[in-house]
Amino acid sequence: MQSTFVPEAPRQFSILGVSVDLLPDYLQWLTQRIIQGLGTHVVTLNAEMTMQTEVDPLLAEIIEAAELVIPDGAGIVLYLRLYGEQIPRCPGIELSEALLRCAAAQPQPWSVFFFGGAPEVVSAAAEQWQQRLPKLALVGTQHGYLKSEDTPAFLETLSTRQPQIIFVGLGVPRQEYWIAQHRYLCPHALWIGVGGSFDIWAKRKTRAPKWLRNNNLEWVYRLYQEPWRWRRMLALPQFAWRALMAKFG
């Protein structure tokens, strides 16, 4: 018999005009949403994305409409601490991995779909997870380099299979645009943008050492791995300055 419990709405906190959701247990909240078949868009908010909303009204609108916005970035967590909110960081990749383990542990495993990344990357990520979780109901994968003529068939596949959890790794903000535009295809699914998580799951890249993650310095390691991101990283000092001005200015 399916539970009739409806998870309570999270408490919201505004960060430079962008609302982030505060919960003691994000996984438990999402688990209840999946059980209820309540369609959910999860946004993994960081400082760079927050600054981007100031020049991208569509992205701001999509984040505002999402059912759950988690404090993914170190800058977001530090901003919250400025105001006395001791919410721990919730990295999107860790929440996604917890969702995969939870999906595989169900008596009737929840169905999962991977979309995004290079062809060899998304298939390798799927293979790695299938080996780690043999009971995982991975009902399909699709790389992110779709040709326009192949798109209708892919959308039909999603609509037909109706996966319960859909991971979209197209990078920010493209994955947010894509989810907002296509979530009607699987209205009861949980959709989450996972950025470059497929690369890590496929073992093409590695996460920062734990001591860097624990000290909110994962972005330093990412810049080391991807130096071409330095222009995008300029949003971090801008965010820090805006945060300090908002608090003390």
pLDDT tens by residue, 135-179: 999 999 999 999 999 999 999 999 999 999 999 999 999 999 999
**Long-range contacts of the stretch 87-94 (C-beta < 8 A, 24+):** 87/22, 89/216, 90/26, 91/44, 91/213, 91/218, 92/42, 92/44, 92/192, 92/193, 92/194, 92/195, 92/197, 93/194, 93/195, 93/197, 93/200, 93/207
- Do residues 243 and 16 lie in contact, with contact meaning Cβ atoms separated by under 8 Å? yes
Strands 11-15, 137-142: pairing kind: unpaired
Other C-beta atoms closer than 10 Å to the C-beta of 199 total 19
190, β-bridge pairs: 40, 165
Domains annotated for the chain, with CATH where assigned, are: 13-201 (3.40.50)
- Do residues 111 and 167 lie in contact, with contact meaning Cβ atoms separated by under 8 Å? no
Q: Tokens in use for 47?
A: 């400082």
Q: What is the pLDDT of residue 230?
A: 45
Q: Tokens in use for 234?
A: 């300029």
pLDDT tens by residue, 20-77: 999 999 999 999 999 999 999 999 999 999 999 999 999 999 999 999 999 999 899 9
Burial tier of 131 (Cβ tally within 10 Å: 0-12, 13-18, 19+) = exposed
pLDDT average, residue stretch 102-113:
98
Q: Which residue has the higher pLDDT, 228 or 22?
A: 22
Separation CA 147–CA 129 (nearest Å): 27
- Do residues 72 and 221 lie in contact, with contact meaning Cβ atoms separated by under 8 Å? no
Other C-beta atoms closer than 10 Å to the C-beta of 48 total 19
pLDDT tens by residue, 61-107: 999 999 999 999 989 999 999 999 999 999 999 999 999 999 999 99
Separation CA 132–CA 154 (nearest Å): 26
> DSSP state, 117?
S
List the one residue out of 170, 163, 191, 166 whose CA is nearest residue 43: 191
pTM: 0.90
- Do residues 185 and 159 lie in contact, with contact meaning Cβ atoms separated by under 8 Å? yes
| Mean pLDDT of the residues in the chain | 91
Helix axes 235-248, 74-82, angle to 10 degrees: 10
